[in-house]
Amino acid sequence: MRAALNRANFVGGLFSFRNIKSMSSSSSQNFVSRSVIKKVFAKLQKEGDGAVVRRGISRSEQKLLDPFLMLDEFSAVSPPAGFPDHPHRGFETVTYVLEGGITHQDFKGHKGTIYAGDVQWMTAGRGIIHSEMPEEEINKGLQLWINLSSNEKMIEPNYQELSSSDIPKAEQNGVQVKIIAGESMGIQSPVYTRTPTMFLDFILDPGAQFHQNVPESWNAFAYVLESGEGGAVFGSSNASPVSSHNVVVFEQGNDGVSVWNKSSSKKLRFVLIAGEPLGEPVVQYGPFVMNTQAEIDMTIEDYHYGKNGFEMAKYWRSQ
């Protein structure tokens, strides 16, 4: 709560007339959009085994974007590069494939390939060891890490797999949305989010605009996947445009997020992701995310000795 207040004050100081500036005159009601408080260009970095990802959210954004821990855009990952056998504990990973396919295998015998438009919503809980390997030469997608609350970090692992056809879609006035989690245009996703989360994939025609409601206390960000020159405008119609591969972090509060595609020729594609902050301490050691250092030490021990959820660690190798 204290953090939220501090941030509101900080933002208020920077944009004193934000409510007036961001009021949309062309909308039927007066929708007050959140302003953008930070932009992060997702730089290429090496991960896994010979893989390269763009990291949009990393440790420096974790406080601003609680409950989100990481956002990677993978686009330069072709076989044999990939993410071979590795563990997770204490959070969820959401993999959304945009092009190509990713095959996953885990130490409980779960195996499958997800292709363009499909989503795997994995709750690592007390422990998963898996591999995530690209299926084709050209692959593109997003992986989001969502933290779990202290009382859910040690739950049984779980998968929710949605093929493209299971994901609800809606369209109005040149705006298409795929509702991966949460609700948009009156349509609800079937995904169960333990940490309340919204995950929407938007495509706006040239000149289109949209207002998306977001609960006031939630943290929210957008990640621009494709945009024409000067196309992607968030928060206020006269804000400066954002180019592809940027994360835009929104302030808290207000009615939600307004977006404009100011390009006259190119579509704008971005994901809008929001979640209810957990407000708990985060201690991360690579793929383990717990609340305290003692819990991390315990996790390393569990992984090493194959205990408390990592029983299969000693025997299992992906094929």
Q: Which CB, 125 or 235, lies closer to ligand FJE?
A: 125
Report yes or no: 61 and 247 within 8 Å, Cβ to Cβ: yes
Asked whether position 62 contacts ligand FJE by CB under 6 A, the answer is no
Nearest to 269 by CA among 173, 205, 182: 205
Residues numbered 248 to 287 that lie near ligand FJE (CB under 6 A) are: 286-287
Q: Which stretch binds ligand FJE (CB under 6 A): 45-53, 164-172, 214-222, 299-307?
A: 45-53
Give me the count of residues in the chain. Answer: 319
User: Per residue in 258-268, is it b (16+ CB within 10 Å) or e — as a string?
Assistant: bbbbbbeeebb
Q: How far is the CB of 42 from ligand FJE (least distance, A)?
A: 12
63-82 footprint of ligand FJE as x/- string (CB under 6 A) = ---------x-x--------
Q: What is the C-alpha to C-alpha distance for residues 16 and 251, in angstroms, rounded to an integer?
A: 13
We find the least distance from the C-beta atom of residue 98 to ligand FJE, in angstroms, to be: 12
Out of 36, 42, 53, 119, name the contact with ligand FJE by CB under 6 A. Answer: 53
- E-strand ranges in 164-231 read 169-172, 175-181, 183-184, 187-188, 197-204, 209-213, 219-226
Helix segments in the chain, DSSP class H? 2-14, 18-21, 293-305
User: Encoding tokens for residue 214?
Assistant: 């977001």
In the complex, least distance from residue 293 CB atom to ligand FJE, rounded to whole angstroms? 18
195, two tokens: 């940490």
**Which CB sits closer to ligand FJE, 102 or 222?**
102
143 is a contact residue toward ligand FJE (CB under 6 A): yes
Residues binding ligand FJE: what is the number (CB under 6 A)?
13
Residue 225 touching ligand FJE (CB under 6 A): no
Q: Which residues bind ligand FJE (CB under 6 A)?
A: 47-48, 53, 72, 74, 83, 86, 95, 102, 132, 143, 286-287
